[in-house]
Amino acid sequence: MTTAQPKPRLTNAAREALTCYLFLLPWGIGFLAFVIGPVVASFVLGFMDYEIVTPARWVGLANYIELFTDDARFGMSMGNTLYYVLVFVPFHVIIATLLALLLNQKARGIAVYRTLFYVPSIVPIVAGAILWVWILQPEWGLINSTLRIVGIEGPLWLASLTWSKPALILMALWGSGAAMIIVLAGLQGVPQHLYEAAEIDGANRWQRFQHVTIPMLSPTLFFILVLSVIASFQVFTTAYVMTGGGPAESTLFYMLYLYRRAFVLLDMGYAASMAWILFVAVLALTLIQFKLASRWVYYEVEQS
């Protein structure tokens, strides 16, 4: 197949546009078939009182009004989530990058190391969760035992109102191996000649990292940043498995609360309105990130 039998009348720009749409078509079919309907449906549900076992009732903005005026858990779960996002995302990006740099070298047994670093991201959550209980156990767990050696009495972790969120963040960071792979792939795109040129110009290691690696890696880092934000706003599984939102709702994240509303309390309409508030918040943040991207992300192709 060559692209869509271009008619001679078409200008180059029109031809390119048409080609572009054709490239997007397979995805577009999937989007129209499987995404847009459920998305619209969930949007409509946000304006309904729909408890699944009873008929849905149109209630206008009632769900949204209740969320903002009469639901302390809405603000609290959003606060817990923001805490998680603000702490997790920077660490995640930095750790993934450092791991990738560490593993992007020719060392003995590097293949084994790469595999081992990746392991936590594929261990089934039920298997990983038990181990984390052992690691975080305050009395003789790995972390507090280690801290005790240097004379620090560690916190209660999952039993503490202040340390339960950091404990879950720690657990999530341990799965940074997945993002590490993306950075590792990104590092391959850095042209060798740039390093050579920099070296000839007398740049030291840090300068080369700062002026060659970072700019060339920036599209990848941008991707990880955007995705980490989107994903960590939807943090769910670790809290669901490890704490069930406790102690005293200190790890009740937004999605956990949403899940509770949808499948425990059967408040599907309310859950849908919660989903759309999350959507608007994350979309706004993402748009800001795209706006700011032009300041630090380097692309080969000009962005319109």
Partner 1 sequence: MARVTTEETAVVQAGVSRRSFLKGTAAVAGLTLAACVAPGPQAASDMAAPAEEPVNIQIWWRLRPTIEGAIQVFEETHPHITVSLGDLGEAVYGTPKYVTAVAAGKGPDVSYQNRHTFRQFASRNLYRPIEDLLERDNLDKGNFMAGPIADLTWQGTLYGLPHTAGTRYFFWNRTHFEEAGLDPDVGPETWDDIMEMAPQLNKMEGDRIVRYGFLPHFPPGLSDQLLIYAMENGGFSQSEDGRTNLINTAPWVEALEWCDNIIDEFGGGHAAASSFMEGFAGQPVDPFAQGQVSMCSYGNWMIGRYAKFPDLDYDGTGLMPVSAANEGAQVNWSCGWTFVIDPNTELVEQGWEFMKWVISEDYVRAAGTVGLELEKEEWARQQLPGEPIFAPTPPVYQPAMQFMLDEYYSVLPERQKIMMERYLDSETFSVGCGQIAGLAAAELWIGFKNAWESALTKKQTPQEALDASHADVQKALDAAWENLESA
Partner 2 sequence: MLRDQAVGPQPTREIHPGARGQPLRRLLELIGTQLHLVLGAIVFALPFVWMVSTSLKADRQIFAFPPIWVPDPFIWGNFPAVFIYAPMHLYFFNTLLIALAHVFGAVFTCSLAAYGFARLRAPGRDLIFMVMVSQMMIPYIVMLVPLYLLFAELEWIDTFYPLTIPAMLGTPFYIFMLRQFFLTIPMELEEAAIIDGASRLRIWWTIILPLAKPALATVAIFSFMFAWNDFTGPLIFLNSREKFTLSLGLQAFMFERRTMWGPLMAASTMMIMPILIVFFLAQKHFIQGIALTGIKA
| Binding residues vs partner 1 (CB under 8 A) | 29, 32-38, 40-41, 44-45, 48, 50-56, 129-130, 133-134, 136-141, 156-161, 242-244, 246-249, 259-260, 262-266, 268
> What is the nearest approach in angstroms of partner 2 to the Cβ of residue 157?
15
3-state SS, residue 58 = strand
Query: Is residue 61 near partner 2 by the rule CB under 8 A?
Result: no
Q: Is the peptide bond before 166 cis (omega within 30 degrees of 0)?
A: no
CA angle 41, 44, 45 (to 5 degrees): 85
Query: Is residue 23 near partner 2 by the rule CB under 8 A?
Result: yes
Only one of the segments 84-92, 156-164, 230-238, 241-249 lies at the binding site for partner 2 (rule: CB under 8 A); that segment is: 230-238
> What is the nearest approach in angstroms of partner 2 to the Cβ of residue 52?
8
> What is the nearest approach in angstroms of partner 1 to the Cβ of residue 237?
13
Query: Is residue 2 near partner 2 by the rule CB under 8 A?
Result: yes
Q: In terms of Cα–Cα distance, which of 88, 43, 80 is closest to 277?
A: 43
Question: Which residue in the set 195, 246, 247, 266 belongs to the binding site for partner 2 (CB under 8 A)?
Answer: 195
From partner 1, partner 2, none, interface partner of 105 (C-beta below 5 to 8 A by class): partner 2
3-state SS, residue 55 = coil
What DSSP element (H or E) covers 12? Answer: helix 12-30
Q: Give dist(CA 176, CA 181) in Å, integer.
A: 9
CA angle 62, 68, 70 (to 5 degrees): 80
Only one of the segments 69-77, 159-167, 175-183, 239-247 lies at the binding site for partner 2 (rule: CB under 8 A); that segment is: 175-183
> What is the nearest approach in angstroms of partner 1 to the Cβ of residue 230?
22
Query: Is residue 205 near partner 2 by the rule CB under 8 A?
Result: yes
Taken in order 80, 81, 85, 88, the sign of the CA dihedral is: positive
> Quick one: 74 or 233, whose CB is closer to partner 2?
233
Q: Give dist(CA 211, CA 206) in Å, integer.
A: 8
From partner 2, partner 1, none, interface partner of 161 (C-beta below 5 to 8 A by class): partner 1
From partner 2, partner 1, none, interface partner of 242 (C-beta below 5 to 8 A by class): partner 1
Number of Cβ atoms within 10 Å of the Cβ of 218: 17
Q: By the 8 A CB rule, do 185 and 220 touch?
A: yes
Residue-wise over 269-281: b if at least 16 C-beta within 10 A, else e? bbbbbbbbbbeee
> What is the nearest approach in angstroms of partner 1 to the Cβ of residue 145?
12
